[in-house]
Amino acid sequence: MAAFVVRNPPQDLPAVNFVNGDGKEQSLGDWKGKVVLLNIWATWCVPCRAEMPALDKLEADLGGKDFAVVAINIDRGGGDKPKKFLADTGATHVQLYTDPSGKMFSVVKAVGMPTTLLLDRDGREIGRLVGPAKWDSPEALALIKAAIAAPPSA
């Protein structure tokens, strides 16, 4: 977690839509009230493959009314390859979200793959980490639990 860059104050993100595994359009506003770990990934990204099991475990352990992992695939060409990627990595708790518009990477100003943003309950970026991380490590869990415990903004 040493590479985690804190945004102080938290920063608003531009609106962007993406699609869930059922083909329904969604936005980050759908998670308002929850702390979100927003992960941008692709099937061709080798570090993304290594990181996905930790993201899946994190969602299994902490996902619920206060927290969610929202992992958005940025591949072109539909959901078949990303669906297979999740199955191949054993991810059963992380839901499939895709960005058919191809805008997510630039909207969040990602500079590498994977890029992961921690969002507060108002959808503002608390911080980010570029590159893979052990999101189920004690350090990551402490960071996320602190975000969940933080008082809501006024």
| Banded pLDDT at 151 (limits 50, 70, 90) | confident
Residues with Cβ within 8 Å of 148's Cβ and at least 6 positions away in sequence, in order, are: 35, 62, 66, 67
Whole-prediction pTM: 0.95
Of 27-41, 50-64, 84-98, 140-154, the one with minimum mean pLDDT is 140-154
Q: 4 burial class (0-12, 13-18, 19+ CB within 10 angstroms)?
A: middle
Q: What is the pLDDT of residue 77?
A: 79
Q: What is the identity of the amino acid at 137? A: S
Q: Which helix (H) or strand (E) holds 7?
A: strand 5-11
Q: How crowded is the C-beta side of 88, counted as CA atoms within 13 Å?
A: 12
Residue 152 has pLDDT above 80, yes or no: no
Average pLDDT on 12-37 reads 94
Measured in Å, how far apart are the chain's first and last C-alpha atoms?
28
Average pLDDT on 96-112 reads 89
Residues with Cβ within 8 Å of 146's Cβ and at least 6 positions away in sequence, in order, are: none
pLDDT in tens, 38-70: 999 999 999 999 999 999 999 999 999 999 999
**CA nearest neighbour of 27 among 101, 78, 80:** 101
Walk me through the domains of the chain, giving residue ranges and CATH numbers. 5-149 (3.40.30.10)
46-73: b (≥16 Cβ within 10 Å) or e: eebbebbbbbbbbbeebbeeebbbbbbb
Q: What is the pLDDT of residue 98?
A: 95
Average pLDDT on 74-86 reads 89
pLDDT in tens, 105-148: 888 999 889 999 999 999 999 999 999 999 999 999 999 999 99
Residue 154 has pLDDT above 60, yes or no: no
